[in-house]
Structure 1
Amino acid sequence: MFSKATLKERRQYYREEWSTKDLPDFILKDLKKREFGFDHNGKGPNDRYKVFRGRESLKKFLRYKAPFAAYISVAFYNNPRRREDWQKAEYIFDVDAKDIPIRTCQCDGVCEVCLGQALEIVNSLIDTLQDDLGLNNIHLVYSGRGYHIRILDEEMMTSGSELRSEVLKYVAGAEVPKSNFFNPDISNKSFNFEHFSIPVGYSKIFTDKLKYNIQHLVGNEELDEINPKLMKDIIKYRHHLDNDNWGYFKRDIGPRRYKNLTEAMARVNLSTIDAKVSIDLKRILRLPSSLHSKVSMKCMEVKNRETFDPLQEAVPKFVEERGE
């Protein structure tokens, strides 16, 4: 498992297993307004600006070409063949298991453990997007090596880079709260962007993510401002956090080193998500239902994020036939 798919296997997948029924409704809607891109040799998407009028023409192309990778734009255009007359774009959170900065596994690519951790992270992000920001047109896609959160609420689809950046920092917990004392409640104050509000007092989000990161450290991570001695003490005293005794933890770590820790973890939180993808209004992403040929896994929409298991649901038949 997770080995590269051969051309023969790609052909088998698209001719025997792939179906237009696997395309999510949010992809099929206004399909002709999206740009498609393809990678035919494993060196990146070099076949761009493709347009399909319907699912059948896409089906014929995939069966004939059996691409190494297939992509679709997050943006909608009146003229997608030239990427002209931009209308709106999905808002994306991209979490790749191999790029998680604090991982509980020691693999050099992806494995069951880090894929499970990536799902934990995206579940937390979606909960914040729904509960704090009131977004509800959210689709989760397993990408093959991680997950894409694809948000189609109109207030985000028509927004610019400034709002996308602010929402990203809020949901990721990418800034240390100004208060020295973390407040578990969300502040009623908010930033307003074109009738869309972002709560300011997000200390609970930061605190939860800080605790999660500390509890998942294994000790060999190379993080800015966390030297080996501080890393050792964090692991030594993190038992205080089992009962949320932040005062004892901060006392044993020391105020200055605790400040270094929180600043480093804010950067860790942001680096867990590919920020470039979130603010890019013309990005292309893997097409749900397509094959991620580098790891021989299906890119697919997640119907139940609480029970989804990619090693059970996203494995192509040809991988099972390999006997791996």
Structure 2
Amino acid sequence: MEIELKPASKYERRIFYKEEWNVKDVPDFIIDSITSREFGFDHYGQGPNDRYKTFPDALRLKRFIKVKQPFAAYCSVAFYEKPKQRKGWQQSELVFDVDAKDIPIRTCDCKEGEVCDKCLNQAKDIVLMIKDVLNDDFGLNNINMVYSGRGYHVRVLDEEVMDASSDLRGQIVQYVIGAKEPDLTNNLGFNNLQHFIIPYGYPYNFTRWAKYTILHLTKDSELDNVNKKLLRDVLKERHFLEEDSWGLFRANIGPIRYKRLISAVARVNMGITDTKVSIDLKRILRLPSTLHSKVSMKSTLIKNIETFDPFDDAVPQFVYDRK
């Protein structure tokens, strides 16, 4: 059956929250801190204007959602002493928001603002790379992967990053997604920032992402300061990157044009994730287990990202019942 990503009707929302939604599907990392989080709701499809909601326990949250059957439900990444007033900030999750419709170089034929199985798979590949960097380079392990409905949220709750400032979060994001052009004259990368150390070997991580981006370019791709001739040459010579032969690739492109390309790739990579979400200490995110009503998909905590398929694991029953 082909899944049509169209908005859910009010009747379909009612059926979902009455028959399918279960508060037990809300992740433990949210329930365990429920009294410290702000919740927000969109009841009419116009944005989350019902904010500053708090709940003392999962039962009260369940009752509210069962009655209201919201168009969308959200909760804060921040923990507060007084979440109802958003006062007394304590700490926040570090978040990477990868939306399939906003991937800078997509390999599908979707129109602007649309998503399909191909670009959703591309988004999944990206979050797998992000998870690997967080694990391998930073040693972070409390990483929760959530399918948001049109992409993925990577939600990190390791204590090492929970109290990080917005500036430090921005630096971490730049490292993780290869969005800062490395200094090609040395291999030091970032140094110690506040109390958190961003690993050495930054050029390696950058080339990992640069390779990903360059291998996804097409003849119609547009990059700042990269003309059509350079793009054609990149496409012609990029087979060297499949064998990690960066030296041959760089030599054939030429050092000046290579530097221009690398600068353009760094700017492209900055759009891989929504950095504004990552640095916002008071951001609210879609509540896992609830309905993304614009596309009739469930926001879902992912137990195994390797095998997760949104078109099998995040489709509400009412979608299958549509005629």
Q: Does 1:249 align with 2:252?
A: no
Residue type at the aligned position of 2:45: G
Within-5 A mapping of 1:99-178: 99-108=102-111, 109-178=114-183
Match of 1:217 in 2: 217
Query: For each residue in 1:138-191, what CA deviation from the matched residue of structure 2 results, as whole angstroms up to 9, or x when unmatched?
Result: 10100001110101111211111122111111111111221258x7xxx6x863
User: Cα offset for 1:194?
Assistant: 4.5
SS at 1:57 equivalent? helix
User: Cα offset for 1:207?
Assistant: 0.8
User: Cα offset for 1:15?
Assistant: 0.7
Q: 1:283 to 1:227 in 2, by over 3 A?
A: same
Deviates further, 218-227 or 121-130: 218-227
* Rounded Cα–Cα distance in structure 2 between residues aligned with 1:309 and 1:13: 20
* Rounded Cα–Cα distance in structure 1 between residues aligned with 2:193 and 2:239: 41
Deviates further, 192-201 or 168-177: 192-201
Deviates further, 237-246 or 53-62: 237-246
Match of 2:39 in 1: 36
Residue type at the aligned position of 1:232: R
Q: Does 1:25 align with 2:6?
A: no
* Rounded Cα–Cα distance in structure 1 between residues aligned with 2:258 and 2:191: 28
* Rounded Cα–Cα distance in structure 2 between residues aligned with 1:75 and 1:267: 29
Any conservation in 1 of the 2:144–2:155 contact (CA below 8 Å)? yes
Q: Does 1:82 align with 2:85?
A: yes
* Rounded Cα–Cα distance in structure 2 between residues aligned with 1:61 and 1:51: 11
Within-5 A mapping of 1:1-324: 1-108=4-111, 109-179=114-184, 191-323=191-323
Structure 1 unaligned blocks of 5 or more: none
User: Cα offset for 1:193?
Assistant: 3.7
User: Cα offset for 1:40?
Assistant: 1.1
How many residues end up aligned between the 2 structures?
318
Any conservation in 1 of the 2:190–2:202 contact (CA below 8 Å)? no
* Rounded Cα–Cα distance in structure 2 between residues aligned with 1:128 and 1:40: 37
Residue type at the aligned position of 2:28: D
Residue type at the aligned position of 2:95: I
Query: For each residue in 1:208-237, what CA deviation from the matched residue of structure 2 results, as whole angstroms up to 9, or x when unmatched?
Result: 111111111122222211222222221122
Residue type at the aligned position of 1:298: K
* Rounded Cα–Cα distance in structure 2 between residues aligned with 1:312 and 1:120: 17
Q: 1:46 to 1:219 in 2, by over 3 A?
A: same
* Rounded Cα–Cα distance in structure 1 between residues aligned with 2:288 and 2:260: 40
Q: Percent identity?
A: 57
Structure 2 unaligned blocks of 5 or more: none
SS at 1:263 equivalent? helix
* Rounded Cα–Cα distance in structure 1 between residues aligned with 2:230 and 2:290: 44
TM-score by length of 2: 0.95
SS at 1:315 equivalent? coil
Any conservation in 1 of the 2:8–2:295 contact (CA below 8 Å)? yes
* Rounded Cα–Cα distance in structure 2 between residues aligned with 1:245 and 1:155: 36
* Rounded Cα–Cα distance in structure 2 between residues aligned with 1:42 and 1:220: 35
Residue type at the aligned position of 2:79: F
Query: For each residue in 1:1-28, what CA deviation from the matched residue of structure 2 results, as whole angstroms up to 9, or x when unmatched?
Result: 2100110001111110000110111010
* Rounded Cα–Cα distance in structure 2 between residues aligned with 1:134 and 1:245: 28
